[in-house]
Amino acid sequence: MLAITIFEDTTQIVVGKKIKNKLEIKSLISYKSIYEAYINKDVNSLTMYFDEIVSLTKCKTDIYFILPDAVFNINYFYYPTNSEKQKDIDKFLQTNNIDTDKYYYSLPFNLKSAAFSWKTVYSIEKTYIDTLLQASKNVNLLIKSIEPLSFCAIRYKNTFEQEAYIFEIYKHSANIIMYSPIAGLFKMNLAKEYILDNLKNQNSQILLSDALLQANAVAKNKFKAITGNADIHILSTKENISKLTFASTDENARIYKMRPNSNLTIKKYNQTEIDAYYIGIGSLLQELEAARLKYVKINSANILPEIVKESTKLIELEQNIKKASKVALLLFTFIIGIQTVSLYYLSTITIPDSLKSNFDYANKQIISLKKENEIIQNVKKQTEPIQPILSDILANKPDNNTLGFTKLSINNSQDDKNNDWIKIDLVANEPMKIQEFSSNLNSDRFKNIMLTKIDNTVDGINSAEISILKVIKNTPKKNKNIKKEKNE
């Protein structure tokens, strides 16, 4: 697992490993800033940076990106139903002017209510995400998540029941994110006088205290769920974060100091080092069991489009199958090798007359081993391996995002008459893509292909089901009437 956090002044890299329901921190790396390439959507520069990161970490899978909140829209809206159906979500987004043709979105909170709820909506222009996806594809990175920085901070803090203010103050942008456990998140952009260069030339204590007063005033009108009795986080460049303080003693007392998260396993880093990298760690923690609250269900803020998430799951499935196949092959080779050596050893032993009875016993064991080996070989021939089947299916899938799988099952039983051999559920932006994929599958391996269902449940998205039956081989029946020779 590799988390890449893009700050304006630096890029932080966290290498971790999930062990049961704990996260072990393997490496903490400070890398040069890639912010300019990200904000300018420079695919070539990002490709170069990602290639260097791969060389540095030796990691290409389970990549988690964390992006600054500056280019995100973060709002919370009244949701007049408790339905989680996609058609109701689409209607909700349209009502609140969130254009899903131009923006990717995530809904990280679900307020538990019998009739209604409030929903936080993170949204970002698709071009920012598509640029990262293209650069990652160029170096074969397998992206699992792209999240906003603020949500990772809240997750790492691991106290979802407490309110919080997050100040993000950098060279090019400044904003405040407010968090409430009964509503979610709300963002307020700050004026240019609050960006880092302007704060250096003025009294930062007065300006930041004034910004907090503004945030409370906005909250009274637009984010009434927050009470104001909240922890305060300040995120800025490394050299300036300690200089950004509040004038009031009470406010200073509420500035949150990061503490070890109970879900972490740390072996070679001290708390000061962990504190400096907690945003990336916060993103990796999404793979562990989510916090359980009385009123709010905490989801991931992963902004990746669904078709990319499903494609990632399929690639991971293929990789796991390949790993399992290699292990099984090595184990089988080892067993056969041991049996071969044993057979060779036994066959070269000269049995003394005094041990004739033991020799006879050994011969019987050799015959038994041969029979077991024949059984293993027959089973190996009867069971069709999954990996070639999956490879053939993936070879006919378009390389772009016009068609994706939502479910793929392969029944690897030995029954040639099995009617549930392969089932594929998929989505596509055009019905013809589904027909084309079904036609391309037709081969010596896949002959009995049936398109069992095709629907247009969401505008612009078509879903379908494909069923593939095994080819039944007509083998001649053996003649059971064997003539017995007569003894003369």
The residues, ordered by sequence, that sit 6+ positions from 120 with a Cβ below 8 Å of its Cβ are 74, 75, 76, 107, 108, 109, 183, 184, 185, 186
Return the pLDDT at 254: 44
State whether residue 359 is helix, strand or coil: helix
Report whether 434 contacts 449 (CB < 8 A). no
Is pLDDT at 99 greater than 80 in this prediction? yes
Which amino acid is it at 438? S
Q: How many residues does the chain have?
A: 488
- Nearest residue to 233 via CA among 160, 181, 178, 281: 178
Q: 488 falls in which pLDDT band (50, 70, 90)?
A: very low
* Secondary structure (DSSP) of 404-448: EEEEEEE---S-TT-S-SEEEEEEESSHHHHHHHHHHH-SSS--E
- Burial classification of residue 238, based on how many CB atoms lie within 10 Å of its CB (0-12 exposed, 13-18 middle, 19 or more buried): exposed
pLDDT tens string 298-329: 778 999 888 777 765 555 555 555 555 565 66
Is pLDDT at 22 greater than 60 in this prediction? yes
Lowest mean pLDDT among 83-87, 89-93, 471-475: 471-475
Topology of domain 313-348+383-469, CATH: Gyrase A; domain 2 (3.30.1360)
Q: In b/e form, how buried is each residue of 372-403, taking b as 16+ CB within 10 angstroms?
A: eeeeeeeeeeeeeeeeebbeebeeebeeeebb
Return the pLDDT at 484: 47
Domain residues of the chain, as ranges?
2-304, 313-348+383-469
Residue 99 half-sphere exposure, CB side, CA atoms within 13 Å? 4
- Nearest residue to 66 via CA among 34, 101, 43: 34
Lowest mean pLDDT among 230-234, 250-254, 293-297, 308-312: 250-254
State whether residue 402 is helix, strand or coil: coil
DSSP 196: H
C-beta contacts of 350-359 below 8 A and 24+ residues apart:
none
Return the pLDDT at 344: 59
Report whether 33 contacts 7 (CB < 8 A). yes
Position with higher pLDDT, 144 vs 445? 144
Kindly tell me the sign of the dihedral angle through the C-alpha atoms of 400, 14, 187, 228: positive
Q: What is the dihedral of CA 30, 31, 32, 35, to 10 degrees?
A: -100
How far, in whole angstroms, is CA 457 from its chain's centroid? 26
CA distance 439 to 204: 66
Residue with tokens 């596509």: 428
Strands, sheet with 461-469, edge to edge from the N-terminal-most edge strand: 403-410, 422-428, 461-469, 448-458
CA distance 74 to 206: 26
Position with higher pLDDT, 472 vs 160? 160
Return the pLDDT at 91: 92
**Which CATH number does 2-304 carry?**
3.30.420.380
Average pLDDT over residues 106-131: 84
Average pLDDT, the chain: 78
The residues, ordered by sequence, that sit 6+ positions from 460 with a Cβ below 8 Å of its Cβ are 429
Return the pLDDT at 383: 57
CA distance 63 to 41: 19
Q: 485 falls in which pLDDT band (50, 70, 90)?
A: very low
Helix (H) / strand (E) containing 330: helix 306-348
Is the full-model pTM beyond 0.85? Answer: no
Angle at 157 between CA 188 and CA 31, to 5 degrees: 80
pLDDT tens string 186-236: 898 888 888 877 776 666 667 777 888 888 888 888 888 888 777 777 787
